Amino acid sequence: MVLSHLDDYIAHLSVERGLSRATVEAYANDLAQFARFLMGRDGQGAAVQTADVIDFLAGLREGGLAGSSLGRKLSALRGFFEYLVLENLAAESPASSLAPPRTGRRLPSTLTEGEVERLLGVPDRSTPLGSRDRALLETLYSCGLRVSEACGLDLADVDLENLLVKVHGKGSKERLVPFGTVAEECLSRYLETGRPALVRRLGEQAFFLNSGGRRLSRVGCFKLIKKAALVAGIRHRTSPHVLRHSFASHLLNRGADLRFVQELLGHASVATTVIYTHLSKEKIFSDYRRFHPRG
């Protein structure tokens, strides 16, 4: 039964390919869902056919699952069956001939520079948690970090002398990202007055702490940003990733090179970064009016 090799494949993703824990868990859940579908269909799931994969995805689509999620599930299945073929555990992949569903590419949401200023001005820096919140918001926007990257920062990762943070990104990849003097001041203040009031355990290495003195969680980060956005009068959805998108689009609007932004974001391919060029129309139009003789 090919599905008996699921555990080996999950270990392969984690250990040999070095995928992030969140990605491995997502693939594991997708494959477990497919396994349950097969067991409910024929009671054994021994010989998987292309029709099985098609019926599985069709059922999910009829249930209202978005095309992007269907594409991820197909990707999980294709990866698993390709692994079986490479390991000589299967003769062929029943998913190799299937194309991912078409999905419209959504432009990422961003804040205006004015909205970012209002958001960053919300935390009360006279309190330990306010000092932390301001330092966190400045780090997210100044460095374009993913929420997991920001929450995963340790003390040793923040170099105030050289204005750099060492970021532990997807697939255990590390990159150095610079930050400016405004972020430096906020981070220094947090380390001097905010963090010492929050820390509870000797030797705690997490940079951003919660009220209990432990590492700030992703959920905690989302909540504080949502609360700050409401106070700032920002009515549309605001999240750590919206700050990351804003970081990229504001750099491009001000003339930054696409490859430079790619490196800062930690994108493996510049194709992923290209989407932000669609957000730079404001600069295109302003430059046209500025430089064209009939602008």
Active site residue 73: no
Residue from 27, 141, 190, 276 carrying the catalytic annotation: 276
Note the Cα 268 to chain centre separation in Å. Answer: 13
Residue pair 85/91 in contact by the 8 Å Cβ criterion? yes
Residue from 5, 72, 170, 214 carrying the catalytic annotation: 170
Closest CA to 150 of 192, 193, 107, 183: 183
Contacts of 234 (CB under 8 A, 6+ apart): 111, 115, 118, 119
List phi, psi (to 5°) of 224.
-70, -35
Contacts of 270 (CB under 8 A, 6+ apart): 258, 259, 262
Active site residue 190: no
State the Cα angle at 9 between 8 and 10, rounded to 5°.
Answer: 95
Residue from 189, 214, 241, 283 carrying the catalytic annotation: 241
DSSP 190: I
Residue from 146, 195, 245, 250 carrying the catalytic annotation: 146
Active site residue 12: no
Active site residue 146: yes
Residue from 12, 73, 244, 245 carrying the catalytic annotation: 244
Sheet holding 164-168, edge to edge: 158-159, 164-168, 174-178
Active site residue 267: yes
Active site residue 141: no
DSSP 100: P
Dihedral of CA atoms 3, 5, 11, 14 in degrees, nearest 10, equals -50
User: Is the Cα torsion angle 240, 244, 247, 250 positive or negative in sign?
Assistant: negative
Residue pair 167/145 in contact by the 8 Å Cβ criterion? yes
How much is the CA Rg of the chain, to the nearest whole Å?
23
C-alpha to C-alpha distance for 285 and 111, rounded to whole angstroms: 19
What positions carry a catalytic annotation?
Answer: 146, 170, 241, 244, 267, 276
